[in-house]
Structure 1
Amino acid sequence: MLYRKFVPPIHLRPFVECFFLWENSLLLSKSLPIESPPTGFASMVFNYGTPYRVTSQKLNGGLVPKNFLTGQATKSYQLQLSGKIGMVGIVFRPAGLNTLFGLPMYEFSDERTNLRDVLGRCLDEWSDKIEEAASPTERIGLLEQFLNLQLLRKNPELDRIDYTANLIVEQRGVVNISDMMNELFVCRRQFERKFLQKVGVSPKYYARIRRIGSLCSELAQKRWQVADWQDIIYKNGYYDQSHFIKEFTEFTGKSPSFYVKNNVELANYLK
């Protein structure tokens, strides 16, 4: 099984975190569950493999659209894959989808929305090209072309929301939102309203999501050991152990120790 991330070209990096490709050479003989905590990133996904299901607080194991947009995940979710895995996607920086496409991101939180319903029939042509492409490189190149055309149409400019959301990502969610807004000399209510529009959740909640997402990624890749819990609590800005456990369980539905021993997160498949 191959799961790869691709760094976007320089001109797309203000808007795109990465591209990804996920394929398998052998058909899955049984359902494969893959879990993911909330990561802090929205995405567009083009599926040319077997349709799959998603289970979350909002989605009850139904099939997701062939090509879809997903906004901010506010809790963990699980993919149920089967048959042929074949998909490519664009992972956007926290405000990137709104900045590039002007979409109200609060409408897409915890959803898998058919891309055709959002962007129109033009998606059919791109979907066909991606499905017919002869190589991973060609598929990623098509995603870049798709965004390049939107960049030319929109000619977007980054604003304070982009800056703040990107800074929260860089700081792994360990930030003081009130201090950040004071430094920007902005009206708190107006700023929070614009942040909700561009990112999909409030600034404070986004910082919590990003902190958990970043931490889970490290745990899944075995960078931490169970003996390092106190170090984890300190470095990630939690008040104490009980606060850490409560926060972790709220977002993932599992205790930290259980998660480390039993996670089947997508990070395990990264190459």
Structure 2
Amino acid sequence: MHPDDPFDQKLTQERPDTPPSDVASSERTIGRHRAPEPPRRGVRALLTSAPARVALATGVSCCLGVAAIAVVRTDDAPREPLAEAVAERAAAADQAASRSLDRATSPAPVSPSPTPKPTPSATKKKAPKKPAKPRRPRPVAGLTQAQMDNAKIIVDVGVDMKIPRRGLVVAIATAMQESNLYNYASGVLPESQNYPHQAIGWDHDSVGLFQQRPSSGWGTVKDLMRPAYAARAFYEALREIPGWQEMSVTAAAQAVQISAFPDAYAQHEGRATTVVAALV
């Protein structure tokens, strides 16, 4: 293109009065027209040539249009920065995932069922009643507790055998005379001392409350040393006495015992009656 071309002149006039330092050093203008420039090499030469300037102007205008479109599109897009938006969305996704994981792994709390209050009848169970111990009879008629206990055994056995009250008085009076209501062992029978006893006598082989002799057929030493057995043996012998109920206490007792002192039993009748009355 010729330097006098109007388009070239126009471009030349629109250029700044002070071109870049690298161009100003090589340009020389004479009047209205630019002096011929020596041929240039390299990229700078290509950029400063007339066709290159036209292409450059065209390219710049195209780039400016693209930039304008990019600016318009950028202005139309949301103003939230992309990095912050991505971070916030990732945090929201993590929170949602953690909540779903908690719901999946953590079982729902189960409220404990209220413990029923025990009823008073359930908490306080009645203890099984222990069999009541028989009351020891209170001594009467000047007897000791041991004597009264032995008298109770004699009376209880007679009541169990359905012996009339007069027979109970005969039995108590007899025991008072024979042993003073103590359970005797015999010094003649050492075996008798192997069993519970309260005293030791020396009247042949007589043992127990009624001083019954094993040698006379009343029973074994072991049996006769038990007050209950001795009392039963006496009542059975009394039953065999015909008309014993019409006899005096002394006569009835002597009929059973056949003692060397038959009248000795009479002295105990009053006390025996008092004891039986206290026990029946």
When normalised by structure 1's length, the TM-score is 0.21
Could you say which structure has the larger radius of gyration?
2
Query: Larger relative contact order (C-alpha < 8 A, sep ≥ 6)?
Result: 1
